[in-house]
């Protein structure tokens, strides 16, 4: 575990084109379709399959016809998934490539047609007597659909007629417009600023390099990077406000159409979670803001800030002399060592993913920023990174490979109907990896300074995944409540709502700059309909599970791997209860915030040695 000197600008300058990156650092999308022509063949095949759904209308009371209809829908969805994943990831390689942007639109369009063609299935099934549905749940030939039928019964009051369901399915493509506008702005049309580094050289504030710049020890450099990045959003703030307003109105529309009391209730319903759970998480974090205020004050002290802490002071390490410029291969080895507690099976499959074309590693021109894991049931998982050599980048690798292995195991052990796991549990698989890695690195730190650096990193992980994400979640609730109350989501309302939350969360030693109030406009997750709170529940569960795996050994590890292999075979809260984590109440989040406070105590104790 060696960390070299700080070299944030070592690999910056002009962003590489894709053909300048060695093949071993690029994912192999040819594993899905060898050529675009093969994609077109599957597209045409799906077009020809869709009309066949009509032959099953009115016949689903016959068990053999029901099974055949399910089979056809599944076959079509599996093709649709591959079309969408391939087109989406090819587009993410270069968001300026209109060819793949058009393929994404076509994939979205044909998926909407597929769902519209199959929209009669649920309304027709729901006409059956309840006893019939319960009987179907017990039939061997329908065992893959037991949870599906249970969900139908559970949400029956929110299901609509065949005609209405078909209309909502068709509206799905139109409802994607706000996110499409946002994505086009962020990755194609946005003016990426330039700043001068300490040597007077021009540096482009690209999506991937911006995060590195915020970790620069020179405060003036951090401030210039922040101003360049946030100004690029402020310049179009009214457009971005209109896009987010459209997204929220879309969520409210679909919730009302399905007779939910709120957009929040509708968003939580698929996971069988009540709004009270969401609200109690926000309340639990609001009741535990003092450690975060204390952390901000500690930053002010250690960074020698004479005024107040600003947004651009929140990401630089409080131990600046220990930083990282970690080669990708070294980062892989760090991850493998840290996750060894998960056992030989997990590590063997992790190595397979690292060496088999799953991962797209480095930033290239117009590439999607950030990181994600994606894939289809009939492909191996894929991971997109923008690796920049920081410890955070290594942590991101562990995070996304957690998702990837969850997908890999789920697809291996579950039928298609039960393989897709909800995001609620997905974030557990990723954050357990992060928690294991940081605990391992802290325990094996070679110097006091290194240990302090790693504790700082763990504090940042909890701040980013719990405090910050719950602040995001509170913002989401407030803006949806506003629309449901008839208020307009203009830029002024959004900025002031965001500024108030920042002040509450970060405390008296934090300065809410006017420019920082546009922070909301940089968050793509706000187009994913009450998504972000799952980061907080995920990390909270991950911290508990990582502790169990480290202290209890094989029994806890086996239970955890069985959880990963269970995919979407049960409701997420029930799946987590089986491994000792009850997320139906705020206790896991509260325990994670105790961990934050304990780490803060340990950090301050080391300072005094």
Instruction: Give pLDDT, residue 7.
Output: 27
Is pLDDT at 1 greater than 60 in this prediction? no
Core vs surface per residue 30-61: b (16+ CB within 10 A) or e: eebbeeeeebeebbeebeebbeebeebeeebe
Q: CA 240, CA 522: separation in Å to the nearest integer?
A: 9
Task: Enumerate the β-bridge partners of residue 309.
Answer: 510
Tell me the C-alpha to C-alpha distance, in Å, between residue 434 and each of 193, 338, 395, 540.
32, 9, 6, 12
Instruction: Give pLDDT, residue 322.
Output: 59
Per the CB < 8 A criterion, the answer to whether 426 and 538 are in contact is yes
Q: CA 374, CA 513: separation in Å to the nearest integer?
A: 36
Is pLDDT at 8 greater than 50 in this prediction? no
Is pLDDT at 110 greater than 70 in this prediction? yes
Q: Model confidence over 389-431: pLDDT tens digits? A: 887 789 899 999 999 999 999 999 999 999 999 888 988 999 8
Residues of the chain with pLDDT > 90, as a percent, come to 77
Q: Model confidence over 293-325: pLDDT tens digits? A: 999 999 999 999 999 999 999 998 888 655 568
Least confident of 18-32, 171-185, 285-299, 308-322: 308-322
Q: CA 32, CA 38: separation in Å to the nearest integer?
A: 9
**Burial of 106 from C-beta contacts in 10 A (0-12 / 13-18 / 19+):** middle
Give Rg (Cα) of the chain. Answer: 24
Coil, helix or strand for 419?
Answer: helix
278 Cβ partners below 8 Å, 6+ apart? 264, 268, 473, 477, 530, 533
Per the CB < 8 A criterion, the answer to whether 497 and 479 are in contact is yes
Instruction: Give pLDDT, residue 383.
Output: 98
Confidence band for 143, pLDDT divided at 50, 70 and 90: very high
- What torsion, rounded to 10 degrees, do the Cα atoms 571, 534, 172, 29 define? -90
Instruction: Give pLDDT, residue 118.
Output: 95
Q: CA 578, CA 560: separation in Å to the nearest integer?
A: 9
Is pLDDT at 355 greater than 90 in this prediction? yes
* Residue 13: other Cβ atoms inside 10 A: 12
Average pLDDT (583-587) is: 90
* Residue tagged active-site, from 247, 400, 427, 474: 400
Helices (H), 463-586: 468-484, 491-506, 533-552, 554-565, 572-577
Of 65, 56, 58, 79, whose CA–CA distance to 141 is shortest?
A: 65
DSSP secondary-structure letter at 140?
A: G
Instruction: Give pLDDT, residue 471.
Output: 98
Q: Model confidence over 191-247: pLDDT tens digits? A: 888 888 777 788 888 876 788 788 888 999 999 999 999 999 999 999 999 999 999
Q: CA 519, CA 498: separation in Å to the nearest integer?
A: 8
Q: Model confidence over 121-134: pLDDT tens digits? A: 998 999 998 888 88
Active site residue 400: yes
Instruction: Give pLDDT, residue 138.
Output: 87
Residue with tokens 């509708």, as numbered in its chain: 266
Instruction: Give pLDDT, residue 9.
Output: 29
Instruction: Give pLDDT, residue 11.
Output: 37
**Burial of 65 from C-beta contacts in 10 A (0-12 / 13-18 / 19+):** middle
Q: CA 21, CA 578: separation in Å to the nearest integer?
A: 44
Instruction: Give pLDDT, residue 608.
Output: 87
Instruction: Give pLDDT, residue 320.
Output: 64
Instruction: Give pLDDT, residue 208.
Output: 65
- Identify which has the larger pLDDT, 33 or 166: 33
Per the CB < 8 A criterion, the answer to whether 441 and 433 are in contact is no
pTM for the predicted model, two decimal places: 0.81
Q: CA 486, CA 466: separation in Å to the nearest integer?
A: 30
The mean of the pLDDT values for the chain is 92
Provide the residue ranges of all domains of the chain, joining segments of one domain with +: 32-175
Confidence band for 284, pLDDT divided at 50, 70 and 90: very high
Residue 492 Cα to chain centre, angstroms:
28
Coil, helix or strand for 159?
Answer: coil
Q: CA 517, CA 311: separation in Å to the nearest integer?
A: 10
Is pLDDT at 90 greater than 70 in this prediction? yes
Task: For domain 32-175, give the CATH number.
Answer: 1.20.140.70
Q: Model confidence over 497-523: pLDDT tens digits? A: 999 999 999 999 999 999 999 999 999
Instruction: Give pLDDT, residue 323.
Output: 52
Is pLDDT at 13 greater than 60 in this prediction? no
Q: Is 272 left (phi over 0), alpha (psi -120 to 50) or beta?
A: left
Q: Model confidence over 559-571: pLDDT tens digits? A: 999 999 999 999 9
How open is the CA angle 449-507-6, to the nearest 5 degrees? 30
Q: Model confidence over 152-170: pLDDT tens digits? A: 999 989 988 888 988 898 8
Instruction: Give pLDDT, residue 324.
Output: 67
Of 543, 550, 559, whose CA–CA distance to 340 is shortest?
A: 550
Instruction: Give pLDDT, residue 5.
Output: 24
């Amino acid at each position: 575990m060696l960390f070299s000197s700080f070299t944030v600008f070592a690999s910056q300058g002009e962003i590489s084109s894709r053909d300048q990156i060695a093949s071993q650092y690029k994912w192999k999308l040819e594993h899905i379709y060898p050529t675009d022509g093969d994609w077109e063949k599957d597209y045409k095949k799906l077009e020809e399959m869709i009309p066949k759904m009509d032959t099953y209308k009115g016949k689903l009371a016959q068990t053999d016809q029901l099974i055949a209809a399910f089979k056809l829908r599944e076959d079509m969805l599996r093709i649709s998934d591959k079309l969408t994943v391939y087109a989406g990831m090819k587009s993410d390689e270069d968001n300026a490539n209109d060819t793949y942007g058009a393929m994404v639109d076509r994939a979205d369009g044909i998926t909407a047609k597929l769902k519209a063609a199959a929209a009669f299935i649920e309304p027709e099934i729901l006409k059956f007597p309840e006893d019939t549905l319960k009987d179907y749940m017990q039939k061997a030939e329908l065992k893959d659909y037991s949870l599906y039928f249970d969900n139908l019964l559970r949400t029956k009051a929110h299901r609509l007629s065949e005609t209405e369901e078909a209309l909502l399915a068709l509206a799905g493509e139109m409802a994607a417009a706000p996110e499409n506008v946002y994505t086009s702005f962020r990755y194609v049309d946005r003016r990426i600023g330039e700043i001068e580094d300490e040597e007077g050289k021009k540096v482009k504030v690209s999506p991937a390099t911006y995060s590195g710049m915020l970790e620069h020890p020179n405060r003036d450099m951090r401030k210039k990077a922040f101003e360049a990045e946030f100004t690029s959003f402020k310049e179009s703030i009214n457009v971005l406000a209109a896009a987010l307003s459209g997204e929220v109105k879309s969520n409210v529309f679909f919730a009302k159409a399905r007779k939910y009391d709120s957009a929040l209730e509708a968003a939580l319903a698929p996971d069988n979670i009540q709004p009270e759970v969401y609200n109690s998480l926000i309340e639990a974090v609001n009741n535990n803001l003092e450690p975060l205020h204390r952390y901000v004050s500690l930053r002010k002290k250690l960074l020698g800030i004479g005024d107040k802490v600003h947004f651009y002071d929140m990401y630089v390490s409080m131990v600046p002399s220990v930083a990282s410029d970690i080669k990708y291969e070294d980062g892989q080895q760090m991850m493998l060592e840290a996750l060894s507690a998960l056992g030989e099976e997990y590590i063997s499959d992790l190595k397979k993913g690292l060496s088999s074309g799953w991962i797209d590693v480095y930033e290239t021109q117009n590439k999607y920023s950030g990181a994600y894991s994606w894939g289809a049931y009939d492909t191996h998982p894929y991971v997109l990174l923008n690796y920049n050599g920081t410890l955070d980048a290594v942590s991101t690798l562990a995070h996304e490979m957690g998702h990837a292995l969850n997908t890999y195991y789920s697809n291996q052990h579950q039928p298609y109907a039960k393989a897709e796991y909800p995001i609620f549990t997905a974030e557990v698989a990723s954050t357990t990896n992060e928690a294991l890695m940081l605990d391992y690195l802290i325990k094996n730190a070679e110097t006091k300074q290194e240990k302090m650096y790693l504790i700082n990193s763990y504090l940042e992980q909890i701040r980013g995944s719990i405090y910050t994400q719950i602040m995001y979640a509170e913002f989401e609730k407030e803006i949806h409540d506003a629309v449901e109350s008839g208020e307009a989501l203009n830029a002024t309302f959004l900025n002031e709502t965001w500024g108030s939350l920042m002040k509450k969360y970060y405390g008296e030693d934090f300065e809410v700059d006017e420019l920082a109030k546009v922070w909301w406009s940089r968050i793509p997750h706000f187009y994913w309909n009450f998504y972000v709170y799952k980061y907080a529940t995920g990390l909270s569960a991950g911290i508990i599970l990582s502790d169990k795996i480290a202290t209890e050994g094989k029994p806890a590890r086996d239970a955890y791997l069985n959880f990963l292999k269970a995919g979407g075979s049960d409701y997420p809260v029930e799946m987590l209860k089986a491994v000792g984590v009850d997320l139906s109440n705020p206790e896991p989040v509260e325990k994670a915030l105790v961990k934050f406070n304990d780490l803060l105590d340990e950090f301050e104790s080391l300072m005094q040695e």
